[in-house]
């Protein structure tokens, strides 16, 4: 296949957009623009955690990872509203996504090895044991982190983040009002 250059062009454009994210400004009522997506990603992630906890199948764990990444994207955008708290939650969501991604990679590796196990002479049982052990560790850490990340009910989470948003907006307006319009005398 001949590369038309379109891939590089799209990659360059995505990099440019990514570089401008910090410059995005929401118009008045900006909370309404993100509220439903944020609440939906949190609710879906929390539900996926519950399904994965009940049935830690490869597909349920992978679905949980996808929903956690959705939440991570939202949290990254909202980090300026409360850098310590929202930034910390964004880091937790990113770490959780990485744990679940590593688990998925190992699950896929195990499946591939199972597919070829009959055609090779090596004993793969020790490898399967190591993979299973590592997946157990990853899942244990993921569930501990996930319970913390998704500890609140979706409504409580949405209300809390909305309060951060409103405080952030008030601070921004106050900072703008404190700018002197003329040199101070005295």
Q: What pLDDT does 19 receive?
A: 74
With a cut of 50, list the residues of the chain below it in pLDDT. Answer: 1, 28, 180-186
Distances (CA, A) of 122 to 114, 129, 168: 12, 14, 60
Residue 107 lies in a domain: yes
Q: What pLDDT does 183 receive?
A: 39
Residue 163 lies in a domain: no
Global pTM value: 0.79
Q: What pLDDT does 186 receive?
A: 37
Range of the domain at 55: 30-151
Q: Name the domain count of the chain.
A: 1
Residue 178 lies in a domain: no
Match 């404190």 to its residue by tokens: 178
Residue 54 lies in a domain: yes
Inter-axis angle of helices 154-177 and 83-116, to 10 degrees? Answer: 140
Q: Which of 34, 14, 26, 103 is nearest to 75 (CA)?
A: 34
Residue 79 lies in a domain: yes
Q: What pLDDT does 38 receive?
A: 96
Q: What pLDDT does 185 receive?
A: 40
């Amino acid at each position: 296949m001949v590369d038309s250059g379109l891939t590089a062009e799209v990659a360059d454009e995505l990099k440019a957009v990514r570089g401008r994210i910090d410059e995005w400004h929401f118009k008045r009522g900006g909370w309404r623009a993100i509220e439903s997506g944020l609440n939906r990603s949190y609710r879906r992630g929390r539900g996926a955690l519950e399904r994965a906890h009940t049935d830690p199948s490869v597909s349920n764990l992978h679905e949980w990872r996808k929903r956690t990444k959705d939440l991570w994207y939202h949290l990254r955008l909202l980090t300026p509203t409360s850098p310590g708290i929202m930034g910390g939650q964004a880091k937790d969501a990113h770490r959780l996504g990485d744990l679940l991604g590593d688990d998925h990679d190992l699950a896929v590796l195990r499946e591939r090895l199972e597919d070829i196990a009959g055609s090779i002479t090596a004993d793969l049982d020790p490898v399967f044991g190591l993979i299973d052990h590592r997946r157990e560790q990853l899942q244990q850490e993921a569930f501990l982190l996930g319970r913390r990340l998704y500890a609140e009910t979706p409504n409580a989470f949405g209300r809390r983040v909305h309060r951060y948003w409103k405080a952030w907006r008030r601070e921004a307006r106050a900072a703008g009002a404190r700018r002197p319009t003329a040199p101070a005398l005295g």
